[in-house]
Amino acid sequence: MRIPMMAGNWKMNCDNPAAVELAKGIVEGSANALGCEVIVCPPFTALSAVNDVTKDSPVSLGGQNFFWKADGAFTGEIAADMLLCCGCEYVIIGHSERRGRFGATDEDFAEELQSVFGDNDATVSIKLKAAVDAGLKPIACCGELLSEREKGMTDAIVSDQVRAMLDGCSEEQLHSVTIAYEPVWAIGTGEVCEADEANRVCGLIRAVVAEVAGQETADNMRILYGGSVKPDNVEGLMAQAEIDGGLVGGASLKADSFCTLIEVAGRAKRA
Ligand code: PEP
């Protein structure tokens, strides 16, 4: 049985006092939430402060990104060991904003800005293996642009992204991997993917994992949905068999709404 997961991506929000406050609210508000693993991913600057709040609680800590080299002249980057030192267990990789898209919903988003942060299928694949080898559990993101969906390319884009990120991984390396399906047009837009369609794409991702790494690995892997998950749409999403939880941006910045998502995910998957 897959344990549901609710991961909060705080993005570039919360100075340290605000991060500590939010973390305390989530620790307290999720204390009685049964059966759902809870992860918070604050900005790097707040990791240690948040770790002081979460370390003796069931809430786990994650980074929003990392660089695969152990050390060196990589200004502005952060290594896996540095995340581990701050108490991180998880790391998000390949988020569409790191892939440079910044929530772009159509092709008029300047091409040159789309790669400003530089992640692509090849770097996500390197990061996935580097994270696992360093002892971090990656939450690896994939998802199509609106323009790709409108051209009927969703399945091809998502399958290719998943194949690329898993390329060269051993079955053992895949045990600690979670995949998040995040249609780019749904991130931060308030426009949620219909629950049955999100379920269909998560099922497609599971089928690709089965093809690459075998059915057992696929059956054990958690696949999350991300994109404008909110208290008012979470029930329908969590009721879907292929969706094992959520990767949440906006609604993770308020303890009460995030705790509602946690409670619903735990309840839905216990049922
Ligand atoms: C995200 O940051 O991964 C995300 C899904 O954001 P939001 O929930 O705000 O759409």
Is ligand 1 within 6 A of the CB of residue 250? yes
Is ligand 1 within 6 A of the CB of residue 249? yes
Is ligand 1 within 6 A of the CB of residue 23? no
Ligand 1: centre distance to CA 13 (Å): 13
Per-residue confidence (pLDDT) for residue 59, from 0 to 100: 97
Residues 21, 17: Cα–Cα separation, whole Å: 6
Specify whether 95 is catalytic.
yes
One DSSP character per residue, 141-204 reads EE---HHHHHTT-HHHHHHHHHHHHHTT--HHHHTT-EEEE--GGGTTTS-PPPHHHHHHHHHH
Ligand 1: centre distance to CA 73 (Å): 31
**Shortest CA distance to 138 belongs to which of 36, 38, 62?**
62
Strand partners, 139: 92, 178
Among the options 37, 97, 144, 182, which is catalytic?
Answer: 182
Ligand 1: centre distance to CA 10 (Å): 9
Mutate which of 14, 182, 224, 230 for ligand 1? The one with the most ligand atoms within 8 Å of its CB, which is 182
Residues comprising the chain, all counted: 271
Residues 231, 245: Cα–Cα separation, whole Å: 13
Angstrom CA distances, 2 to 58, 91, 134, 244, 250, stand at 17, 19, 23, 7, 25
Is ligand 1 within 6 A of the CB of residue 228? yes
Per-residue confidence (pLDDT) for residue 1, from 0 to 100: 82
Close Cβ partners of 161 (under 8 Å, ≥ 6 residues apart): 94, 121, 124, 142, 143
Q: How many domains does the chain have?
A: 1
- For residues 119 and 110, the answer to whether their CB atoms sit within 8 Å is no
Q: What is the CATH number of the domain that holds 193?
A: 3.20.20.70
Ligand 1: centre distance to CA 72 (Å): 31
Please, what's the b/e burial string for 251-262 (b: 16 or more CB within 10 A of its CB; e: otherwise)?
Answer: bbbebebbbbbb
Domain interval for residue 185:
5-270
Residues 64, 62: Cα–Cα separation, whole Å: 7
Per-residue confidence (pLDDT) for residue 109, from 0 to 100: 54
One pLDDT digit (tens) per residue for the chain, 271 residues:
899 999 999 999 999 999 999 999 999 999 887 899 999 999 999 999 999 999 999 999 999 999 999 999 998 999 999 999 999 999 999 998 888 654 444 455 555 555 556 788 888 999 999 999 999 999 999 999 999 999 999 999 999 999 999 999 988 899 999 999 999 999 988 888 999 999 999 999 999 999 999 999 999 999 999 999 999 999 999 999 999 999 999 999 999 999 999 999 999 977 6
Amino acid at 154: T
Residue 140 is inside which H or E element, if any? strand 137-142
